[in-house]
Structure 1
Amino acid sequence: MLISCFLFCWGNGSLRENSKLRDHELNPTVDMEKWMKMLVRDSEKQIPQVPHWRFCYTILCQESIIGAFIIHQLDLDLRNAVCVFHFMLRALDTVEDDTSIATEVKVPILMAFHRYIYDREWQFACGTENHRVLMDKFHHGSTAFLELKSSYQEVIEDVTMRMGAGMAKFICKEVETIDDYDEYCHYVAGLVGLGLSRLFHASGVEDLPPSTFFHSTSVFLQKADVIEDYLEDINEIPKSRMFWPRQIWSKYVDRLEDLQYEKNMVKALHCLNDMVTNALLHAEDCLKDIGAVRDPAIFQLFAMLLLITMGTLASCYNNIQVFRGVKTLRRDLAAKFVDRINTISDFYQAFYDYACMLKSKIDDNDPNATKTKERVEAILKTLQGRQNVITEGIST
């Protein structure tokens, strides 16, 4: 789900300004494993000792060490609110993802989940590994939730209610059309971005920029994840639900799983490029409104989120490795961005470079080439309208 991706990007977006770490410790040439261990140590030192808070923060660290580290740079009340927000949505996602739960059991739980977050006695065993532990000790999350300010509770309850209802709808419904795809991404991603923005606003650190920014940014990332996770999802046992819309993939193959086979390589690339082109629709809204984000740390969160998403799409475009299970964006890319993206001009330049990278990969023989070029050109025009970006690309 998007919440974990948000936190991964968050961690890479705010380290430079807020962390106690020195610039040389965050140099992108530093060994990634050593860097991660350093973040683990710093995060663990700051985990509260009160049992319910310690459990919530431990779950957060298991999902994203970098994200957890950055949450510790926030004021205490906002830090706790974001931690609980993550906890509750991760629990909700665990119920949705567990394919062993019968539909007639799962749907009512998803629909009522926003009430369970108030109930210290509620428990439902499901999920695997760390997620099962989370569900077994759900009372810790409820206890922490009940200690938050009412303004934070209202946001978390509302997002949980709306997301649970959306998930329940798609338990019983396949993603057939592009409208279905957009609706599902709204429920599992758009609501996360909107929820975070409302938490920031409730804390007083951020005004509410146009809602299209948070929604579009979240859906933009979700669509990149759906694309990149194709093989992992298609081969999952028990069989996972798939979110590539039939309206797109049925133009190229009879079954979605056929895209992975060598004999269908050309069709697979055409379908992949169609999916990437669809995702690019959301980039313009993100670029138009990011300047409205006031808080520097929150700006860096969304800047990193957008850059990693655009980098992923540029890497995925026309890349058959998506169907071989190879992750196209290197894990250390965000570490490099830490030392590169400090101003909105830096952000515009990096985004521009990725758009140019994608444009250079467009195959004129692709059936969607004209549409893809139009969307990339619209992105470049939006960027050029905000500043004179240079064309010395960042290395990828």
Structure 2
Amino acid sequence: MKHQKELYKEAMTVLKATSRTFFIPITFLEKELKTTVGTAYLCMRAIDEIEDDEKLPNTIKAELLHATSQLLLKPFDRNAYLKLLEPYRHQLPEVTLRLSDWLALCPEGIRNTVASSTSEMADGMAKWASKGWHIQTKEDLDEYTYYVAGLVGTMLSDIWLWGAGIKTDRELAIGYGRGLQAVNILRNQSEDKERGVQFIPDGWTRNDLFQYAEENLAKADQYNKSISKRSILMFCKIPLALAHKTLDTMRKGNNKMTRKEVEQTVEEITSE
């Protein structure tokens, strides 16, 4: 087992390389919460990379995700996990291969919660991989966005309660996650169509998805009103502000914000 300080440094390096957008708000958290949220994100990103892999057949994705889900429900067996991934080790990223490291770095008092949330996400992803991610109804969209993003919201709510004594509304937390995911779906709609993936319910227009995103981002706005601790509020407000502005950008015909616009948004939020 690596020394915790060395492992923490490596985790932050992988986190920054994996998601620069997420890395910005996490820097506002105090050390223990930064470690907790960072490792929790890496755990969920580890399984997300399996779902997103463009070379793995859906049947293999479903098998890997379901098996990983089961491993996360008990003391995590690193060797069993690496054996599971071995046939695909050459194509999976570091963040996925090192899931056991991220769990080990996560504070013991919240580790089981993070593992349980990640397990539920993995099993939900396995279900939708088996279906080929074909969303037919709003209920399908709600279910899929719950598994891939709403669970991030509820896990964070658990972390805020554990680490700072802050109680938040879980339904609003799910809405927060759904809103961010809906923005991602809108942004990636063309690419998803090219690879034969359908995240928009049958009969829906792009405007319907905009409305879905806005309704859920409104829940995220309400969620943030319940947070009094500035460091956590900054963490929550930055992704939400970027999501709102990305929606505005897409309505104007552009697909994403410029780096300068992102930096300006972060500066506006943090100077409040």
TM range (shorter): 0.7 to 0.9
The two structures have a TM-score, normalised by structure 1, of 0.59
Corresponding residue number in structure 1 for 2:266: 338
Deviation at 1:233, TM superposition (A): 2.4
Provide the residue aligned with 2:108 in structure 1: 150
Tell me the number of residue pairs that the alignment of Structure 1 and Structure 2 aligns.
Answer: 260
One-letter code of the match for 1:295? K
Specify which of 110, 113, 123 is matched with residue 165 of structure 1: 123
Deviations 1:317-349 (A, max 9, x none): 3x4x4xxxx524223223212332358xx6xxx
5 Å-filtered alignment, 1:51-200, equals 52-65=7-20, 67-68=22-23, 70-116=25-71, 118-121=76-79, 122-123=81-82, 124-125=85-86, 126=88, 131-135=92-96, 137-138=97-98, 141-173=99-131, 174-200=134-160
1:287 aligns with 2:249: no
Conserved? CA contact 2:150–2:175, under 8 Å: yes
Q: What is the correspondence of 1:193-212 to structure 2 with a 5 Å cutoff?
A: 193-203=153-163, 205-212=164-171
Find the aligned partners of 2:40 and 2:17 in 1 and give their Cα distance: 15
Deviates more, 1:163-172 or 1:274-283: 274-283
For residues 104 and 113 of structure 1, the distance between their equivalents in structure 2, rounded to whole angstroms, comes to: 14
Q: Structure 2: which amino acid aligns with 1:213?
A: L
Name the CA shift for 1:288/1:84 in 2 (closer, same or farther; >3 Å).
Answer: closer
Distance in 1, matches of 2:28 and 2:174, equals: 24
Is the Cα–Cα contact under 8 Å of residues 177 and 246 in structure 1 kept in the other structure?
yes
CA–CA distance in structure 1, aligned partners of residues 90 and 69 of structure 2: 22
Aligned to 1:247: 203
Helix, strand or coil for the counterpart of 2:216? helix
Cα distance in structure 2, aligned partners of 1:328 and 1:68: 18
Where does structure 2 lack aligned partners over 5 or more consecutive residues? none
Query: Which structure has the larger Rg?
Result: 1
Q: What letter matches 1:302 in structure 2?
A: C
Do the aligned partners of 1:304 and 1:334 also contact (CA within 8 Å) in 2?
Answer: no
Deviation at 1:49, TM superposition (A): 5.4
Identity %: 22
* Contact 2:153–2:174 (CA under 8 A) maintained in structure 1: yes
* 1:298 has 2:257 as partner: no
- 1:127 shift after superposition: 8.0
Cα distance change on mapping 1:71 and 1:339 into 2, 3 Å: closer
Query: Could you say what secondary structure the match of 2:93 adopts?
Result: helix
1:308 correspondence with 2:242: yes
> C-alpha distance in 2, partners of 1:225/1:147?
29
Return closer, same or farther for 1:172/1:67 CA change in 2, 3 Å cut-off. closer
Distance (Å, rounded) in 2 between the aligned partners of 1:337 and 1:206: 29
Go from structure 1 to structure 2 and tell me whether the alpha carbon gap of 1:335 and 1:246 turns closer, same or farther (over 3 Å shift). same
Structure 2 counterpart SS, 1:332: helix
1:167–1:187: 8 Å Cα contact kept in structure 2?
yes
Q: 1:233 to 1:150 in 2, by over 3 A?
A: same
| Counterparts in 2 of 1:295 and 1:90: CA distance versus 1, 3 Å | same
Distance in 2 (alpha carbons) for counterparts of 1:217 and 1:243: 18
C-alpha separation between the residues in 1 aligned to 2:135 and 2:116?
Answer: 24
Query: What is the identity, as a one-letter code, of the residue corresponding to 1:55?
Result: E
Q: 1:55 to 1:120 in 2, by over 3 A?
A: farther
Which whole-Å CA distance do the structure 1 matches of 2:208 and 2:183 have between them?
A: 12
Mapped to 2, the partners of 1:234 and 1:89 lie a distance apart of 25
> CA separation of 1:342/1:95 partners in 2, compared to 1, >3 Å: closer, same or farther?
closer
Distance between the aligned counterparts of 1:282 and 1:176, measured in 2?
19
Residue 253 (structure 1) aligns with:
none
SS state of the match for residue 74, structure 1? coil
Which of the pair is proportionally richer in helix? Answer: 2
Letter in 2 for 1:150: E
SS in 1 for 2:225: helix
